[in-house]
Amino acid sequence: MRIPLTQILYDGNIRKQFDETQIDGLARTMSLLGQQVPTKGRMVDGKCVLTDGMRRFLAARKLGWESLEVDLEEGEMKEEDILQRQLVVNCQRSDIPVLDKARAVARLMEVTGCNASEAAARLGMSNAMVTRLLSLLSLPEQIQRQVECGKLAPSTACELARVTDPARQSALVEAAMQGRLTRDAATAQRKRGKPRRARSAGSVTRAAVSLGEGRSITVASPDLSLETLIALLEELLGKCRKARSHGWELGTLVRALRDQSKT
């Protein structure tokens, strides 16, 4: 059904940042072809909360349209259900700003009372991913703004969030923004600022994981744990996919990662 734009809630979406170029392009398409795909939403207190299609809404508003076609799901919906639906739909998309994801996950935990592990299970994320997202929210606001505007890589920011000395954290942020500090270097710098702990007798620093049929993966890291292993494999997978998108061969990626580790 068509819903007046004045009845559609703007602040109810987890995504707070939008690429204006994309919105302009979508508006041009919609001006020529109309709305090809309905948005989706739920009625909450007489207002429509979109669960999918926020960019279509913004494009329609830019065009001065009075209403938008919305597929409405029956029944009322609690805030926690709307948050979970939007997170499941949106958070696997790479173009969702990382801090928008983090704030939405934190809000879901707040309204449901669930912990990080339970939130991860609800959203189909790993515990390590949720932990990294939430760590960004512990950073001072001025550092969060550097992440939002693209001056500080989220992966580096996650490492810097674990630096407890504010002065040292600020200095490392400045170095990262100037391109003098990679994520791996930030990890090393953070560890240098901590007292060295004696390893327990049962601690693991290297794991050779056999996958059968002559295949195996070897991972090394201080105080290696299952969560650390998952995080390292996810990070490597992301770098492999990025290398593939650039048409790199495996040898090129290996050399690039080796050179990066030396910086």
pLDDT at position 196, please?
A: 42
Identify whether 54 is part of a domain: yes
Give per-residue pLDDT as tens, 230-243: 777 877 887 888 88
Identify whether 118 is part of a domain: no
- The pairing of beta strand 67-73 with beta strand 2-4: antiparallel
Identify whether 60 is part of a domain: yes
Q: What CATH number did the domain enclosing 47 receive?
A: 3.90.1530.10
Count how many domains the chain has.
1
Q: What is the dihedral of CA 130, 135, 137, 139, to 10 degrees?
A: -160
Q: Check pLDDT > 60 for residue 92.
A: no
**Model-level pTM greater than 0.75?**
no
Terminal C-alpha separation, the chain: 57
Share of the chain above pLDDT 90, in %: 8
Identify whether 48 is part of a domain: yes
Tokens linked to 18: 């939008």
Identify the domain containing residue 31 by its residue range: 1-77
C-alpha triplet 163, 166, 168: angle, nearest 5°: 70
Identify whether 258 is part of a domain: no
Identify whether 64 is part of a domain: yes
Identify whether 1 is part of a domain: yes
Half-sphere exposure of 17 (CA within 13 A, CB side): 14
pLDDT band at 197 (very low <50, low <70, confident <90, very high): very low
Identify whether 15 is part of a domain: yes
Tokens linked to 120: 């991860």
Q: Other CB atoms closer than 10 Å to residue 49's CB: what's the count?
A: 20
Give per-residue pLDDT as tens, 211-226: 888 888 888 876 677 7
